[in-house]
Amino acid sequence: MDMFDDILTSYLERTCDAEPALLQRINRETYLKETRPHMLSGPYQGRLLALLSKLVAPKFILEIGTFTGYATLCLAEGLVPGGEVHTIDNNPELEDRVRGYFEQSEWKHAVHYHIGDAAAVIPGLVGPFDFVFIDADKKNNPIYYELALEKCRAGGLILIDNVLWKGKVVAGAGDSQTQQIVSLNEQLAADERVDKLILPIRDGLFVLRKR
């Protein structure tokens, strides 16, 4: 079940700002070199991340799940002068290539790339964070969410990706991964510490504002 078909996706991408050249390259090389390129945020969601970041104007951003760095650089577009992005990933095989992308960007001095277990890295980060994007292994999302909420300032924004899981969540699929996502969605819906809604774009994006 595709939340957006190809025709609608093509239209949406034509009517938003174009990808910057470096992001176009990351997009292309991810699809050429990675076995799971669909994990990339992509042009439309990337422009959404950039726009939300510009609206928040964050000084400190936390990203959990770097992959090839596409979303990292989208988020960095909204940083205020002197701002920082702390992005965490557990795949050292991508490190050299991703660091190369960051080095070519205008935010090369603002991006702090951490390789390791996010649950171990986050407590050591100073914060507070103005903007958090969670796009990592789904089974640990409840842990990442609680750690991120603790590190996020009041009024800060937390985004969690893949919360509709290719439509399986609303289709009632019974596999364990879908059920993990359903459980987290229900937990977030009942969480009075945040304002929240799901944006049904791509694979579903939970948007939460810490009260």
Structure tokens at 26: 């990351």
Quote the pLDDT of residue 7: 87
Tokens of 143: 């842990």
In total, how many domains does the chain have?
A: 1
In a domain, 201, yes or no: yes
Per-residue pLDDT reduced to its tens digit, 160-189:
999 999 889 988 888 999 999 999 999 999
Give the domain extent around 92: 6-210
What pLDDT score does 9 carry?
85
Chain mean pLDDT for the chain:
95
Question: For residue 73, what pLDDT is reported?
Answer: 98
- 17-38 confidence digits (pLDDT tens): 999 999 999 999 999 999 999 9
Give domain status of residue 1, yes or no.
no
Task: Read off the pLDDT of residues 32-74 as tens digits, 9 standing for 90 and up.
Answer: 999 999 999 999 999 999 999 999 999 999 999 999 999 999 9
Query: What local confidence, expressed as pLDDT, does residue 174 receive?
Result: 87
Q: The whole model's pTM is what?
A: 0.95
CA distances from 155 to 25, 51, 84, 108, 128 (A): 34, 17, 18, 27, 11
Task: Please indicate, yes or no, if residue 205 is contained in any of the structural domains.
Answer: yes
pLDDT for residue 162 = 95
- The answer to whether residue 2 scores a pLDDT higher than 80 is no
Q: What Rg, from alpha-carbon coordinates, does the chain have?
A: 16
Tell me the per-residue pLDDT of 106-132, one tens digit each, with 9 for 90 and over.
Answer: 999 999 999 999 999 999 999 899 999
What local confidence, expressed as pLDDT, does residue 8 receive? 86
Domain of 192, CATH number, reads: 3.40.50.150
Q: Do the domain assignments include residue 79?
A: yes
CB 123 within 8 A of CB 146: no
CA 27, 32, 37, 40: dihedral to nearest 10 degrees?
-10
pLDDT value at 3 more than 80: no
Q: Among the listed ranges 2-6, 45-49, 140-144, which one has the minimum average pLDDT value?
A: 2-6
Q: Which two tokens stand for residue 21?
A: 């050249």
